[in-house]
């Protein structure tokens, strides 16, 4: 079992993820990447500077040459790993967690984040001799954000956006999105209004997770300013959600479904057809699979967690990757979720028709979530009971993470939480009553 690495790298408050632990983990990470060339970035949290310095010490003492890109969004760092041909990358970030949290996200040479399992291999190298008595050198690389903007611009038709000038309200949540989003959207030709668009590691404007409740100001400003859309990112900019021109919140799964439609629409203008599979996690709305089906694409499901999603896209044959919380992978640019390329694609799509019109192409489902208290042993037993019952009933299931049962117009997943003492049950159906019925039925089966 990994002691420090979870699904999304190492996370903790400064008394848990101390500078000393950050140095030791970074040294082990440097050893894991065999003293190669390492990229280093951080988000704007207040503890970022001290953890950054600890990471520099750890990596360089493992013999790594460190290319420090400074404060940058996670998608920027993940894109730059490939561009600068680094052997790996450490990003000091806690994504959407509250401001007192921070974390270490480790990314490999292809831009894929290290999972809990690979994290165990890093932990096995903790406090082992590394670097052979030689420290690597540290260099600064100042232009990462501009290089990332240059990459994104290459993937959208800026001419159309400059002509149409869509009016977009952005809410950077005081995170690293503030460093790139305003500049990118201006450069694309959008008219922008901005909220919380200066970096502040205390996240004074709103909590960092772009949930519907947290982006009320954005929704209000989209409506009062008659804007074409609103966009909000999480703290490190890999996740993105939209608001349509009527003030409707567009949840993460729908952002992914729309992205699939937009990529297919662009290919059509090039007389080309979408190819490959749509990759997503078992917690994602069936709307994604439905949209994929209309384009004759198959859907491949992965365990929940960005590293698993990226690993599956990296295996090849993927049209796109995406997860339910609004993270979209555009494999033509990067194997990591990129909330800014996704935002640029929205600007391009608005040149064709309003966002609410695009949303008509995404099927509507209702969902219901419950959680049942259970300790580690009970969690296992509950999931096993559901698996046994679905086998007995000969139902269609996916068992990469708990058990997801697929019906014609609905599905339900029963899975053990990785971090808390709960079994989570989540159902989606064409009516709320049916979704409720499913969670109750499967809750009953789980309890035994």
Least Å distance, CB 202 to Mg ion, is 18
Order of strands across the sheet with 101-108?
10-13, 101-108, 88-92, 37-42, 65-71, 138-140
Catalytic (active site) residue 95 = yes
Check if the beta carbon of residue 142 is closer than 8 Å to that of residue 41.
no
Q: Candidates 46-54, 89-97, 175-183, 351-359: pick the segment binding Mg ion (CB under 5 A).
A: 89-97
Q: Which of 209, 236, 277, 324 binds Mg ion (CB under 5 A)?
A: 236
Nearer to Mg ion, 43 or 389 (CB): 43
Instruction: Give me the least distance between CB of 154 and Mg ion, in Å please.
Output: 23
Nearer to Mg ion (CB atom), residue 136 or residue 322: 322
Q: Are 306 and 337 in contact (CB under 8 A)?
A: yes
Q: How far is the CB of 337 from Mg ion (least distance, A)?
A: 8
How many angstroms separate the CA atoms of 414 and 403, rounded?
5
Q: Which stretch binds Mg ion (CB under 5 A): 127-135, 155-163, 239-247, 370-378?
A: 239-247
Angle at 267 between CA 233 and CA 278, to 5 degrees: 60
Q: Which of 43, 209, 228, 238 binds Mg ion (CB under 5 A)?
A: 238
| Minimal distance, residue 209 CB to Mg ion, in Å | 9
- Please, which of residues 352-391 interact with Mg ion by CB under 5 A? none
CB of 96 to Mg ion, least distance (A): 5
CA 187 to chain centre: 24
**Is residue 145 a contact residue for Mg ion (CB under 5 A)?**
no
- Taking CA 12 as the corner, what is the angle to CA 205 and CA 85, rounded to the nearest 5 degrees? 90
In the complex with Mg ion, which residue's Cβ is closer, 236 or 277? 236
By beta carbon distance, the residue nearest Mg ion is 95
Rounded Cα distance, 40 and 68, in Å: 5
DSSP assignment of 24-39 equals HHHHHHHHHTTT-EEE
Closest approach of Mg ion to the CB of residue 91, in Å: 10
Q: Is 95 in the site for Mg ion (CB under 5 A)?
A: yes
Please identify, using beta-carbon distances, which residue of 228 and 236 lies nearer to Mg ion. Answer: 236
Choices 95-103, 133-141, 145-153, 365-373 (CB under 5 A): range interacting with Mg ion:
95-103
DSSP 8-state assignment for residue 263: H
Angle at 99 between CA 94 and CA 103, to 5 degrees: 25
User: Which residues, at least 6 apart from 312, have a Cβ–Cβ distance to it below 8 Å?
Assistant: 279, 300, 302, 318, 321
Report in angstroms how near the CB of residue 121 gets to Mg ion at its nearest: 23
Reading the block at residue 346, the tokens are 């929205």
- The reply on whether position 61 binds Mg ion by CB under 5 A is no
87 vs 236 by CB, closer to Mg ion: 236
For 399, counting Cβ atoms within 10 Å of its Cβ (0-12 exposed, 13-18 middle, 19+ buried), the class is: middle
If one asks whether residue 234 binds Mg ion (CB under 5 A), the answer comes out as yes
Q: How far is the CB of 177 from Mg ion (least distance, A)?
A: 10
Q: Applying CB under 5 A, does 151 fall inside the site for Mg ion?
A: no
Nearer to Mg ion, 418 or 448 (CB): 418
Termini Cα distance of the chain: 29
Q: Would you list the DSSP string of 314-332?
A: HTS-EEEEEETTTEEE-TT
CB nearer to Mg ion: give 238 or 348. Answer: 238
Catalytic residue among 95, 115, 259, 333: 95
Pair 98, 114: CB distance under 8 Å: no
Task: Show contacts with Mg ion in window 309-338 (CB under 5 A).
Answer: none
- The residue count for binding Mg ion (CB under 5 A) is 5
- H helical segments located in 155-251: 158-164, 177-188, 216-224
Query: Between residues 75 and 274, which has the closer beta carbon with respect to Mg ion?
Result: 75
> Can you give the binding site for Mg ion, defined by CB under 5 A?
95, 234, 236, 238-239
Report the catalytic residues: 95
């Amino acid at each position: 079992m990994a002691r420090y690495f979870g699904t999304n790298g190492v996370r903790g408050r400064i008394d848990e993820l101390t500078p000393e632990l950050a140095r030791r983990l970074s040294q082990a990470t440097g050893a894991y990447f065999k003293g190669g060339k390492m990229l280093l970035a951080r988000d704007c949290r207040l503890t970022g500077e001290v953890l950054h310095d600890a990471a520099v010490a750890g990596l360089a003492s493992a013999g790594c040459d460190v290319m420090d890109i400074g404060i940058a969004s996670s998608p920027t760092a993940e894109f730059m790993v490939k561009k600068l041909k680094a052997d790996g990358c450490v990003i000091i970030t806690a994504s959407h967690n509250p401001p007192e949290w921070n974390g270490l996200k480790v990314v490999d040479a292809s831009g894929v984040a290290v999972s809990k399992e690979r994290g165990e291999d890093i932990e096995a190298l903790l406090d082992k001799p590394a670097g052979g008595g030689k420290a690597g050198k540290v260099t600064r690389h100042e232009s990462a954000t501009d290089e990332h903007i240059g990459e994104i611009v290459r993937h959208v038709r800026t001419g159309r956006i400059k002509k149409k000038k869509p009016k977009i309200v952005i809410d950077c949540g005081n995170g690293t999105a503030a460093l790139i989003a305003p500049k990118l959207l201006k450069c694309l030709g959008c008219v922008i209004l901005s909220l919380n668009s200066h970096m502040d590691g205390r996240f004074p404007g709103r909590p960092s997770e772009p949930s519907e409740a947290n982006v009320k100001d954005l929704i209000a400003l989209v409506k009062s300013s008659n804007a074409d859309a609103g966009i909000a990112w999480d703290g490190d900019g890999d996740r993105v959600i939209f608001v349509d021109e009527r003030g409707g919140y567009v949840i993460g799964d729908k952002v992914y479904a729309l992205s699939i439609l937009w990529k297919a629409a662009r290919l059509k203008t090039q007389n080309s057809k979408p190819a490959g599979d749509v990759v997503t996690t078992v917690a994602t709305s069936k709307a994604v699979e439905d949209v994929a089906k209309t384009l004759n694409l198959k859907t491949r499901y992965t365990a929940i967690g960005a590293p698993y999603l990226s690993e599956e896209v990296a295996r090849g044959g993927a049209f796109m990757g995406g997860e339910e919380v609004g993270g979209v992978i555009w494999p033509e640019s990067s194997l990591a979720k990129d909330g800014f390329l996704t935002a640029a694609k929205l600007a391009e799509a608005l040149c064709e028709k309003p966002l609410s019109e695009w949303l008509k192409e995404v099927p509507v489902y209702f969902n219901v979530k419950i959680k049942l208290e259970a300790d580690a042993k009970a969690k296992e037993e509950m999931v096993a009971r559901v698996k046994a019952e679905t086998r007995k009933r000969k139902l269609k299931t996916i068992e990469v993470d708990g058990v997801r049962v697929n019906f014609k117009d609905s599905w339900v997943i029963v899975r053990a939480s990785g971090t808390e003492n709960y079994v989570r049950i989540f159902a989606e159906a064409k009516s709320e009553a049916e979704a409720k019925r499913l969670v109750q039925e499967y809750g009953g089966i789980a309890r035994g």
